[in-house]
Amino acid sequence: MIAEKPVWVKHEGLQIFSIDVQPNGERFATGGGDHKVRIWNMKSVDKDLQNLDPKERLLATLRDHFGSVNCVRWAKHGRYVASGSDDQVIQIHERKPGSGTTEFGSGEPPNVENWKAVMTLRGHTADVVDMNWSPDDSMLASGSLDNTVHIWNMRTGLCTTVLRAHLSLVKGVTWDPIGTFIASQSDDKTVIIWRTSDWSMAHRTVGHWEKSLGSTFFRRLGWSPCGHFVTTTHGFQKPRHSAPVLERGEWSAAFDFLGHNAPIIVVKFNHSMFKRTTSSAPETKRAGWSNGTSKSGGKDLQPYNVIAIGSQDRTITVWTTASPRPLFVAKHFFGQSVVDLSWSPDGYSLFACSLDGTVAMIHFNPKELGVRLSDTELDELKKSRYGDVRGRQANLVESPAQLLLETASTKLSGSKRVSSDTQQNQVTAKPSANMESTAKRRKSQVDDRSKTAEASGDALNKASTSNQASNPVNQKVYRRPDGRKRIIPEAVGVPQQENNIDVAINGQAHNFPPASSAAPGKEDNGDFPVETSNRDLSMKEVVVRNPDPKERPRITARATITESLVIEKVSGASGRDGTLNVEPSVGIKGTSSTDLLIRVFDWKEGEAAAPVCLEACPKDHALDTIGAVSTSMVKETEISCKRSGETLWSDRIIGRVTVLAGNPNFWAVGCEDGSLQVYTKCGRRAMPTMMMGSAATFIDCDDSWKLLLVTRKGSLYVWDLFNRKCILQDSLSSLISSNVNLSSTVEGTIKVISVKLSKSGSPLVVLATRHAFLFDTSLMCWLRVADDCFPASNFSSSWNLGSAPCGELAGLQVDVRKYMARKPGWNRITDDGMQTRAHLESQLASSLALESPNEYRQCLLAYVRFLAREADESRLREVCESFLGPPTGMAEAASTDTNLSWDPYVLGVKKHKLLRNDILPAMASNRKVQRLLSEFMDLLSEYENTEPADPGPKGSAPTIDCGGVPSSLDQMDSDPVAVTAITPLTIENEKPVSLGNSAALETSITCEKPGSEDRERQEQNSRD
């Protein structure tokens, strides 16, 4: 045994009322009569007495209380320390990142560690004298001189319950380690046991406290780690003061610890239980644990509790429940009453503090106390006695990391908080009219005070004056309407540059960036309902065979008059076997003169720049040139490309134009007779007319050189016009057969709403049922990415409903749902969980197929949260493993084998990053899976240790923030030089536009501003 009295642990010479050791053994906290809480470094009181730098001893001084600090208690997870004070409040402190600060005016050195008060618990109306955390840290019980015990919810910081049964000051509270009860002791000479389930009083015990004399600061009772005993304080049995022990269940005083000469103030059980060893040598004791000697052991190996008792007689006694005599008596350590005790986490050190303002540490060795039971052994013991405690306390946090991740997950799931910066911007932008700037005058400027005063009205002066001083404070000063001066302070720690920019821009300029950046988003919002209502309209019109042109929300704005096609599978009897005959449901007759107009905005030149328009204007040549011979047969269409009224180029095509498409690189015009003409940007016919066999009904192009075409007969083509190659030729026929089972329409008939290139560059077909199909070029088959198979899924109705769809998949989903909602027979079915899971899984796969990283991440999060909620460990494990990759050792070996090598990136995002930032925090939402969580956290950190620095995503893979450059575009992306060489400047700036027309309706389509996502994508392209 070694005893130690560190003289440097002090509270300005005043009383130290409380001491507590952090459960991880790194720090201990004291609270004193100087109103302060101090946090000390455990290394400085190490058993080995290896004293470190005195500056490192005191880690922090917390000055948040306005009264003596009576009690400090660490939470079990060690992240928080609670302190209760005479000022009636309880403060919860937490260590924040960064270095500690100095208390201004205190003259003391700055704190080593940055501990800050994070929560204030208000509610007591008198001094708070004792506190204890619940076993799972979710609650805190506090006893106060207002005769109550308050129970606090530590997630919200609110008082959940007040226990009022004591008739006098409550001076001690303790929590049952099983979590079923709490016990409180009061000056009314009773101990009350409360049920935690309903906070009813389980028992009021009157006993040996009856005869107790005198007053004590505290009556800090304690509950044994086995849960069986409650040792109380301040008992009296003639002629000695005692610590009466209550037994669980009966709650009657079973026996007393006797012998102190003055009232007992505090008792503290060791956190663990101990047992004797057959041999006292420490070596055998260690071996004994693993061998399970407890089985072979006899009575001697019965585990026992160790308890320390502190008294007003200035002594400390240490007892075991296996012996009637104290193991150890510490006298003459203190000049005044012992008021608090704390055991170190290893169970072999006892910390004590006294009203004389000093602390003492007593280090025992296993010979003296016995061998500590391991946590598992203790758990086993409790389990055998009380059943599976873990089951009841599934919420117990086992590591601080769990808590950190939980916070992260709540942040992720919570709606994005408007950043303070934005708020600040708004505030400054608004009062731009009366915004005044007071230049900050340093010493050198003071003389020309009047001059600067004049200038203060001039906002533009700010930039120049701020440059004058070496370290000026960038604050904004203005007068409120009521004439009071208001200062918006400078945020310290924000890069200086940002502030300068803030100041340099005057009110008007300030307004601009938010306005312009907000615009696309707003338009997205506005667009969607309009767009869908159009769609609704067109649905009706399918019936009357007169659909309306409508606008697509994509960059490549398209308007296709052949809104819905009826693709009929011609039966074998009627001619060609198995061939397809695509019939547009639209009446083509009587469509002779339609002007189509599309606009392309040049973004680089700003909003003012005129759009490029491509116009297809049918001309009835029967009257003009051809004459009577071919009146009914020959029609010409004039194609003209204009910019703000000025014609850039024009051409004439024989036949009626059904579809138009265009982007900065080329224009494509499809005709009724099945021909397709491709123009360069300047209107040169890039290649001979291509013959498709039947009229083009759907056309789309991407930003560079890819063109998609669907003919009336259901053939699908994707070309790379730059390399003059066919990327894909397939048919929509497989969709028909798959659709027969699902759709209510006539067998063999299928209505197509749209065919376009998805953002990832694969053909995406939306049928009238709103089922969406994506053609996977690697699998060479169609994938159904959006459908109505999961009406009961919890996510089918909540997914993005009410908010603007942020991604492709979400947009498709919303369509499906809107369509479903119109069906009369559709009912909401309650889900058994299976459908939700399946839905999420298919969503996840679909978003991966669509290569939509944001949605993928969103789905992944939802999926992991769902699995975590269901505590589906096997699926979670599989997900985590797939993101973790092969074991580190094998990873290198596997990398040589290209076929099996594990790709550390998914959609351009590092899998480990996803795992660390999204998956693991999402898993933290349910503590039932925390074992799995901590396992993967360990694995992940192992990986990160072995991994070299992040080499960055391979190739041109984008980050998650970008819209995503599809991998199928690699051919184009990998050859950016060639692309830009041909069309310099324009490739990043212009928006591709396509337009289809086969009806006699006038259309005017404006290519709307792209969503921010699209713009990012564009930027990504340009960066590549």
Partner 1 sequence: MSSINITNVTVLDNPAPFVNPFQFEISYECLTSLKDDLEWKLIYVGSAEDESSDQLLESVLVGPVNVGNYRFVLQADSPDPSKIREQDIIGVTVLLLTCSYMDQEFVRVGYYVNNDYEDELLREEPPTKVLIDKVQRNILTDKPRVTKFPINFHPEDEQTVGDDGPPPAELDDSDVNGEAQVLVEQPQQLQET
- To partner 1, the closest distance from the beta carbon of 515 in angstroms equals 21
CA distance 800 to 816: 13
- To partner 1, the closest distance from the beta carbon of 17 in angstroms equals 19
Burial of 818 (0-12, 13-18, 19+ CB in 10 A): middle
Residue 614 structure tokens = 């491509």
Nearer CB in complex with partner 1: 485/540:
485
Say which amino acid occupies 588. I
- To partner 1, the closest distance from the beta carbon of 288 in angstroms equals 48
- To partner 1, the closest distance from the beta carbon of 102 in angstroms equals 7
**Strands 274-275 and 264-269: what pairing?**
unpaired
Nearer CB in complex with partner 1: 477/519:
477
Do 611 and 601 contact (CB within 8 A), yes or no? yes
> DSSP class of residue 103?
P
Nearer CB in complex with partner 1: 437/591:
437
Token pair 């000026």 is found at 472
Nearer CB in complex with partner 1: 427/978:
427
Nearer CB in complex with partner 1: 81/661:
81
Nearer CB in complex with partner 1: 292/457:
457
CA distance 72 to 798: 45
Integer-rounded Cα radius of gyration of the chain: 38
- To partner 1, the closest distance from the beta carbon of 469 in angstroms equals 10
- To partner 1, the closest distance from the beta carbon of 106 in angstroms equals 7
Of the candidates 76, 4, 81, the one whose C-alpha atom is nearest the C-alpha of residue 36 is 81
Nearer CB in complex with partner 1: 486/954:
486
Nearer CB in complex with partner 1: 475/534:
475
Nearer CB in complex with partner 1: 124/363:
124
From residue 995, alpha-carbon distances to 430, 551, 596, 602, 992 in Å are: 42, 10, 8, 18, 10
CA distance 934 to 402: 8
CA distance 703 to 1015: 12
What's the length of the chain? 1024
- To partner 1, the closest distance from the beta carbon of 221 in angstroms equals 23
The residue ranges that bind partner 1 (CB under 8 A) are 63-64, 66, 87-89, 91, 101-106, 116-120, 122-125, 150, 157-159, 161-162, 420, 423-424, 427, 438, 440-443, 446, 449, 453, 473, 475, 477, 480, 484-493
- To partner 1, the closest distance from the beta carbon of 440 in angstroms equals 5
From residue 272, alpha-carbon distances to 20, 275, 378 in Å are: 16, 10, 7
Distance of CA 116 to the CA centre of its chain: 24
- To partner 1, the closest distance from the beta carbon of 443 in angstroms equals 5
Say which amino acid occupies 911. K
Nearer CB in complex with partner 1: 477/740:
477
Nearer CB in complex with partner 1: 96/540:
96
- To partner 1, the closest distance from the beta carbon of 534 in angstroms equals 43
- To partner 1, the closest distance from the beta carbon of 189 in angstroms equals 25
Which residues, in sequence order, are CB contacts of 999 under 8 Å at separation 6+? 546, 547, 549, 561, 562, 586, 587, 588, 591, 594
- To partner 1, the closest distance from the beta carbon of 543 in angstroms equals 56
Nearer CB in complex with partner 1: 424/917:
424
- To partner 1, the closest distance from the beta carbon of 118 in angstroms equals 7
Do 734 and 784 contact (CB within 8 A), yes or no? no
Which residues, in sequence order, are CB contacts of 421 under 8 Å at separation 6+? none
Rounded to 5 degrees, φ, ψ at 56 are -90, 0
Number of other CB atoms surrounding residue 339 within 10 Å:
27
Nearer CB in complex with partner 1: 496/631:
496
- To partner 1, the closest distance from the beta carbon of 201 in angstroms equals 16
Nearer CB in complex with partner 1: 156/899:
156
Could you give the angle at which helices 930-946 and 873-884 cross, rounded to 10 degrees?
Answer: 10
- To partner 1, the closest distance from the beta carbon of 862 in angstroms equals 29
Of the candidates 42, 79, 81, 54, the one whose C-alpha atom is nearest the C-alpha of residue 65 is 81
Distance of CA 883 to the CA centre of its chain: 17
Does an H or E element contain 1019, and which? helix 1012-1023
CA distance 60 to 62: 6
- To partner 1, the closest distance from the beta carbon of 97 in angstroms equals 13
Distance of CA 605 to the CA centre of its chain: 37
CA distance 57 to 55: 6
Nearer CB in complex with partner 1: 118/588:
118
> DSSP class of residue 220?
B
Is the sign of the CA dihedral 185, 186, 189, 190 positive or negative? negative
Nearer CB in complex with partner 1: 112/648:
112
CA distance 702 to 720: 10
Burial of 898 (0-12, 13-18, 19+ CB in 10 A): exposed
Residue 607 structure tokens = 């909003």
Rounded to 5 degrees, φ, ψ at 540 are -65, -35
